[in-house]
């Protein structure tokens, strides 16, 4: 398993980096769209109807991609005070349970979002003219990526591998 993880880690690193760039581009685009909406509303007195649904769609992408990368890099919010008070073997068990639950959450998010997308595909988003199920594609992608990245961390913890985020924290301290 260790060799397999070493073989796929560059691909997962690449996927994580691409996700961050897509999230960043989405945030910049959303900011530009909202800026245009404000300008059009207050200066031109003609608010574009497409700006709000499109900016919300972009927001879904950058939030969910960012959350997935946060899982991989272990920078999501957590209350570690109890964990650090435990012996190392209990800390490892707590990490495995936590990461296992995150894997299950990601799988459930992807599965149920797929059901929602399929169920609403025949509807149309009025202003954009897109199928209604398109709104759930970021949730499907985010769920899949959360599952992949949490499983990577789960295997790293199970194999007692040094996780990049932990190394950075130790260097700062």
Per-residue confidence (pLDDT) for residue 172, from 0 to 100: 45
What is the chain's alpha carbon radius of gyration, rounded to the nearest angstrom? 20
Model pTM score: 0.85
Tell which residue, 6, 36, 26, 34, has the closest CA to residue 137. 26
Rounded distance between C-alpha atoms, residue 107 and residue 147, angstroms = 6
**Mean pLDDT over each residue of the chain, to the nearest integer:** 89
**Which one has a higher pLDDT value, 126 or 139?**
139
Distance CA 144, CA 147 (A): 5
């Amino acid at each position: 398993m260790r060799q397999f993880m070493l073989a796929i880690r560059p691909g997962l690193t690449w996927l994580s980096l691409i996700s961050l760039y897509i999230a960043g581009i989405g945030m910049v685009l959303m900011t530009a769209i909202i800026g245009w909406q404000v300008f059009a509303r207050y200066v031109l007195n003609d608010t574009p109807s497409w700006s709000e649904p499109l900016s919300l769609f972009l927001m879904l992408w950058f939030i969910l991609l960012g959350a997935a990368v946060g899982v991989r890099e272990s920078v999501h919010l957590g209350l570690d005070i109890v964990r650090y008070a435990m012996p190392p073997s209990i800390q490892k068990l707590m990490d495995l349970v936590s990461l296992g639950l995150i894997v299950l959450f990601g799988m459930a998010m992807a599965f149920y979002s797929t059901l929602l997308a399929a169920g609403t595909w025949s509807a149309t988003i009025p202003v954009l003219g897109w199928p209604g199920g398109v709104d759930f594609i970021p949730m499907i992608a985010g769920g899949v990526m959360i599952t992949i990245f949490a499983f990577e961390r789960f295997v790293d913890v199970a194999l007692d591998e040094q996780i990049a985020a932990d190394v950075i924290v130790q260097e700062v301290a």
